[in-house]
Amino acid sequence: MTGKELKSYCRRCGGSRHHETLSEHAFPWSESDAPIEGNDTWSVIQCAGCRTVSFCHTHWFSEDYEATEDGGYRVIEHRDLYPPAPPRRMPEWGADLFHALTMQQQWVRGLHSDIYAALGMKAYSLAAMGIRTLVDFVVTSKAGDYGTFSDKLARLRQRGLTEAQEKITDAAFDAGSAAAHRGHIPTMKEAYLMLDIAEKLFEQFYIEPSLEGQRKKDADRLRANTPPRVKPPKKE
Ligand SMILES: [Zn+2]
Protein backbone atom coordinates (compact mmCIF):
# COMPACT_ATOMS: atom_id res chain seq x y z
CA MET A 1 0.00 0.00 0.00
CA THR A 2 1.49 3.34 -1.00
CA GLY A 3 1.34 6.37 1.29
CA LYS A 4 1.53 4.14 4.39
CA GLU A 5 3.67 5.58 7.22
CA LEU A 6 6.14 3.55 9.23
CA LYS A 7 9.19 4.02 11.43
CA SER A 8 12.44 2.80 9.92
CA TYR A 9 16.18 3.41 10.17
CA CYS A 10 17.44 6.29 7.99
CA ARG A 11 21.09 5.85 7.01
CA ARG A 12 21.49 9.61 6.44
CA CYS A 13 19.78 10.86 9.62
CA GLY A 14 21.49 8.01 11.54
CA GLY A 15 18.46 6.82 13.54
CA SER A 16 14.84 5.66 13.47
CA ARG A 17 12.69 8.15 11.52
CA HIS A 18 9.18 8.41 10.07
CA HIS A 19 9.06 7.11 6.49
CA GLU A 20 6.45 7.15 3.77
CA THR A 21 5.88 4.07 1.58
CA LEU A 22 6.22 5.04 -2.10
CA SER A 23 5.59 1.55 -3.48
CA GLU A 24 4.92 -1.88 -1.96
CA HIS A 25 4.35 -5.44 -3.17
CA ALA A 26 3.56 -8.38 -0.86
CA PHE A 27 4.14 -12.02 -1.82
CA PRO A 28 2.55 -14.40 0.72
CA TRP A 29 3.34 -18.09 0.29
CA SER A 30 2.38 -21.45 1.81
CA GLU A 31 3.20 -25.12 1.26
CA SER A 32 0.42 -27.48 0.12
CA ASP A 33 1.94 -30.54 1.83
CA ALA A 34 3.08 -28.92 5.11
CA PRO A 35 1.50 -26.46 7.57
CA ILE A 36 4.06 -23.73 6.99
CA GLU A 37 3.67 -20.28 5.50
CA GLY A 38 5.47 -16.96 5.15
CA ASN A 39 5.50 -13.62 3.45
CA ASP A 40 7.93 -11.38 1.57
CA THR A 41 7.07 -7.72 1.19
CA TRP A 42 9.25 -5.49 -0.98
CA SER A 43 8.83 -1.75 -0.64
CA VAL A 44 10.39 1.59 -1.54
CA ILE A 45 10.29 3.96 1.44
CA GLN A 46 11.31 7.61 1.90
CA CYS A 47 12.47 9.40 5.06
CA ALA A 48 9.99 12.14 6.02
CA GLY A 49 12.87 14.33 7.25
CA CYS A 50 15.77 14.18 4.77
CA ARG A 51 13.89 12.51 1.85
CA THR A 52 16.48 9.68 1.54
CA VAL A 53 15.00 6.68 -0.29
CA SER A 54 15.62 3.05 0.78
CA PHE A 55 14.55 -0.33 -0.51
CA CYS A 56 13.07 -2.53 2.20
CA HIS A 57 12.52 -6.31 2.38
CA THR A 58 10.16 -7.30 5.21
CA HIS A 59 9.81 -11.07 5.69
CA TRP A 60 8.60 -13.71 8.11
CA PHE A 61 8.33 -17.50 8.15
CA SER A 62 5.94 -19.46 10.40
CA GLU A 63 8.75 -21.69 11.76
CA ASP A 64 10.93 -18.72 12.74
CA TYR A 65 9.47 -17.58 16.05
CA GLU A 66 10.39 -16.51 19.59
CA ALA A 67 8.86 -17.12 23.04
CA THR A 68 6.80 -14.33 24.59
CA GLU A 69 6.58 -13.38 28.27
CA ASP A 70 3.06 -14.82 28.65
CA GLY A 71 4.26 -18.30 27.63
CA GLY A 72 3.13 -18.12 24.01
CA TYR A 73 5.17 -17.40 20.92
CA ARG A 74 5.28 -14.88 18.13
CA VAL A 75 6.62 -15.08 14.60
CA ILE A 76 9.68 -12.85 14.10
CA GLU A 77 9.35 -10.22 11.40
CA HIS A 78 12.70 -9.33 9.80
CA ARG A 79 13.39 -6.07 7.96
CA ASP A 80 16.42 -5.73 5.69
CA LEU A 81 17.29 -2.34 4.21
CA TYR A 82 19.20 -1.63 0.98
CA PRO A 83 21.72 -0.07 0.70
CA PRO A 84 22.72 -1.89 3.91
CA ALA A 85 22.56 0.49 6.87
CA PRO A 86 24.89 -0.31 9.79
CA PRO A 87 23.31 0.66 13.12
CA ARG A 88 26.06 3.16 13.81
CA ARG A 89 27.69 5.93 11.82
CA MET A 90 31.31 5.90 10.73
CA PRO A 91 33.55 8.13 12.88
CA GLU A 92 33.71 11.69 11.59
CA TRP A 93 37.39 11.51 10.64
CA GLY A 94 36.61 12.46 7.04
CA ALA A 95 39.60 14.28 5.55
CA ASP A 96 41.68 13.68 8.69
CA LEU A 97 42.19 10.01 7.82
CA PHE A 98 42.98 10.94 4.20
CA HIS A 99 45.73 13.34 5.36
CA ALA A 100 47.03 10.88 7.97
CA LEU A 101 47.71 8.16 5.36
CA THR A 102 50.26 8.11 2.52
CA MET A 103 49.03 7.58 -1.05
CA GLN A 104 50.04 3.90 -0.82
CA GLN A 105 48.00 3.53 2.36
CA GLN A 106 44.73 5.02 1.05
CA TRP A 107 43.28 1.50 0.50
CA VAL A 108 42.70 1.42 4.27
CA ARG A 109 39.90 4.00 3.91
CA GLY A 110 38.12 1.73 1.41
CA LEU A 111 38.50 -1.26 3.73
CA HIS A 112 37.11 0.80 6.64
CA SER A 113 33.91 1.63 4.72
CA ASP A 114 33.65 -1.98 3.44
CA ILE A 115 33.61 -3.14 7.08
CA TYR A 116 30.61 -0.87 7.77
CA ALA A 117 28.86 -2.29 4.68
CA ALA A 118 29.53 -5.85 5.95
CA LEU A 119 28.15 -4.92 9.40
CA GLY A 120 25.06 -3.45 7.72
CA MET A 121 24.48 -6.80 5.98
CA LYS A 122 25.06 -8.68 9.26
CA ALA A 123 28.11 -10.35 7.65
CA TYR A 124 29.95 -10.40 10.99
CA SER A 125 32.60 -12.95 9.96
CA LEU A 126 33.60 -10.82 6.97
CA ALA A 127 33.57 -7.69 9.16
CA ALA A 128 35.82 -9.45 11.73
CA MET A 129 38.32 -10.47 9.03
CA GLY A 130 38.40 -6.88 7.75
CA ILE A 131 38.84 -5.48 11.28
CA ARG A 132 41.73 -7.90 11.86
CA THR A 133 43.38 -6.44 8.74
CA LEU A 134 42.86 -2.89 10.08
CA VAL A 135 44.43 -3.79 13.43
CA ASP A 136 47.33 -5.53 11.67
CA PHE A 137 47.84 -2.48 9.46
CA VAL A 138 48.16 -0.04 12.39
CA VAL A 139 50.40 -2.34 14.43
CA THR A 140 52.68 -3.38 11.53
CA SER A 141 52.98 0.10 9.99
CA LYS A 142 53.91 1.65 13.34
CA ALA A 143 56.03 -1.17 14.82
CA GLY A 144 57.81 -2.46 11.68
CA ASP A 145 57.08 -5.56 9.64
CA TYR A 146 59.21 -8.17 11.39
CA GLY A 147 58.63 -10.73 14.14
CA THR A 148 55.31 -12.14 15.36
CA PHE A 149 52.23 -10.02 16.10
CA SER A 150 53.10 -10.22 19.82
CA ASP A 151 56.63 -8.94 19.06
CA LYS A 152 55.14 -6.01 17.17
CA LEU A 153 52.78 -5.21 20.05
CA ALA A 154 55.72 -5.29 22.46
CA ARG A 155 57.58 -2.78 20.25
CA LEU A 156 54.47 -0.57 20.09
CA ARG A 157 54.60 -0.36 23.90
CA GLN A 158 57.61 1.92 23.40
CA ARG A 159 55.43 4.19 21.24
CA GLY A 160 52.69 4.74 23.76
CA LEU A 161 50.63 1.52 23.75
CA THR A 162 49.71 0.72 27.37
CA GLU A 163 49.81 -2.78 28.84
CA ALA A 164 45.99 -2.87 28.93
CA GLN A 165 45.81 -1.76 25.28
CA GLU A 166 48.31 -4.49 24.32
CA LYS A 167 45.96 -7.14 25.74
CA ILE A 168 42.85 -5.55 24.19
CA THR A 169 44.49 -5.26 20.76
CA ASP A 170 45.71 -8.84 20.92
CA ALA A 171 42.14 -9.99 21.78
CA ALA A 172 40.71 -8.16 18.73
CA PHE A 173 43.40 -9.59 16.44
CA ASP A 174 42.83 -13.12 17.75
CA ALA A 175 39.04 -12.86 17.31
CA GLY A 176 39.65 -11.84 13.66
CA SER A 177 42.07 -14.73 13.19
CA ALA A 178 39.47 -17.12 14.63
CA ALA A 179 36.94 -15.85 12.06
CA ALA A 180 39.46 -16.23 9.22
CA HIS A 181 41.03 -19.57 10.16
CA ARG A 182 39.04 -21.34 12.87
CA GLY A 183 35.44 -21.09 11.66
CA HIS A 184 34.42 -18.66 14.40
CA ILE A 185 31.30 -16.56 13.71
CA PRO A 186 31.34 -13.46 15.94
CA THR A 187 28.13 -11.99 17.34
CA MET A 188 27.07 -8.45 16.42
CA LYS A 189 28.25 -7.23 19.84
CA GLU A 190 31.67 -8.86 19.41
CA ALA A 191 32.09 -7.42 15.91
CA TYR A 192 31.33 -3.88 17.17
CA LEU A 193 33.67 -4.37 20.12
CA MET A 194 36.46 -5.35 17.71
CA LEU A 195 35.68 -2.29 15.58
CA ASP A 196 35.87 -0.02 18.66
CA ILE A 197 39.34 -1.41 19.42
CA ALA A 198 40.55 -0.92 15.82
CA GLU A 199 39.18 2.63 15.58
CA LYS A 200 40.75 3.62 18.93
CA LEU A 201 44.12 2.43 17.56
CA PHE A 202 43.59 4.56 14.45
CA GLU A 203 42.78 7.60 16.55
CA GLN A 204 45.85 7.13 18.73
CA PHE A 205 48.43 6.34 16.05
CA TYR A 206 47.11 8.12 12.95
CA ILE A 207 44.39 10.71 13.55
CA GLU A 208 45.73 12.43 16.70
CA PRO A 209 49.38 12.72 15.50
CA SER A 210 48.13 14.05 12.14
CA LEU A 211 45.88 16.63 13.85
CA GLU A 212 48.74 17.64 16.13
CA GLY A 213 50.99 18.18 13.09
CA GLN A 214 48.26 20.34 11.54
CA ARG A 215 47.83 22.33 14.77
CA LYS A 216 51.60 22.92 14.87
CA LYS A 217 51.54 24.28 11.30
CA ASP A 218 48.57 26.52 12.21
CA ALA A 219 50.46 27.77 15.28
CA ASP A 220 53.53 28.58 13.12
CA ARG A 221 51.31 30.50 10.69
CA LEU A 222 49.69 32.35 13.58
CA ARG A 223 53.12 33.27 14.95
CA ALA A 224 54.32 34.49 11.52
CA ASN A 225 51.29 36.81 11.21
CA THR A 226 51.54 38.17 14.75
CA PRO A 227 53.51 41.48 15.10
CA PRO A 228 56.54 40.97 17.35
CA ARG A 229 56.56 42.38 20.84
CA VAL A 230 58.14 45.83 21.01
CA LYS A 231 60.85 46.02 23.65
CA PRO A 232 60.32 48.95 26.03
CA PRO A 233 63.04 51.64 25.68
CA LYS A 234 65.85 51.39 28.23
CA LYS A 235 65.75 53.92 31.01
CA GLU A 236 68.52 56.52 30.79
ZN1 LIG B 1 16.47 10.76 6.97
Spatial neighbors of 19 by CB under 8 A, at least 6 apart, are 5, 6, 7, 8, 10, 45, 46, 47, 48, 54
Ligand 1 geometric centre to CA of 42 (Å):
19
Ligand 1 geometric centre to CA of 36 (Å):
37
Query: Is residue 102 exposed (0-12), middle (13-18) or buried (19+ Cβ within 10 Å)?
Result: exposed
Q: Look over the chain and give the mean of its residue pLDDT values, rounded to a whole number.
A: 90
Ligand 1 geometric centre to CA of 56 (Å):
15
Ligand 1 geometric centre to CA of 142 (Å):
39
Which whole number is the average pLDDT over 187-201? 92
**Under 8 Å between Cβ of 87 and 56:** no
Ligand 1 geometric centre to CA of 229 (Å):
53
For 3, 52, 75, the CA distances from 22, given in Å and listed in that order, are 6, 12, 26
For the chain, the C-alpha Rg in angstroms (whole number) is 26
At residue 205, does pLDDT exceed 80?
Answer: yes
Please give the model's pTM, rounded to 2 decimal places: 0.69
The percent of residues above 90 in pLDDT, for the chain, comes to 50
**Under 8 Å between Cβ of 30 and 36:** yes
Ligand 1 geometric centre to CA of 9 (Å):
8
* pLDDT tens-place string over residues 31-69: 988 889 999 999 999 999 999 999 999 999 999 999 988
Find out whether the peptide bond into 228 is cis, omega within 30 degrees of 0: no
Q: What pLDDT sits at residue 211?
A: 85
* pLDDT tens-place string over residues 212-224: 888 888 899 999 9
Ligand 1 geometric centre to CA of 97 (Å):
26
* pLDDT tens-place string over residues 110-158: 999 899 888 888 899 999 999 999 999 999 999 999 999 999 999 999 8
CA 4 to chain CA centroid, Å, is: 31
Ligand 1 geometric centre to CA of 49 (Å):
5
At residue 236, does pLDDT exceed 80?
Answer: no
Ligand 1 geometric centre to CA of 214 (Å):
34
Ligand 1 geometric centre to CA of 53 (Å):
8
At residue 1, does pLDDT exceed 70?
Answer: no
Query: What are 87-95's contacts with CB under 8 Å, separation 24+?
Result: 87/9, 87/119, 88/14, 88/192, 89/14, 90/116, 91/199, 91/203, 93/202, 93/207
Ligand 1 geometric centre to CA of 11 (Å):
7
Ligand 1 geometric centre to CA of 80 (Å):
17
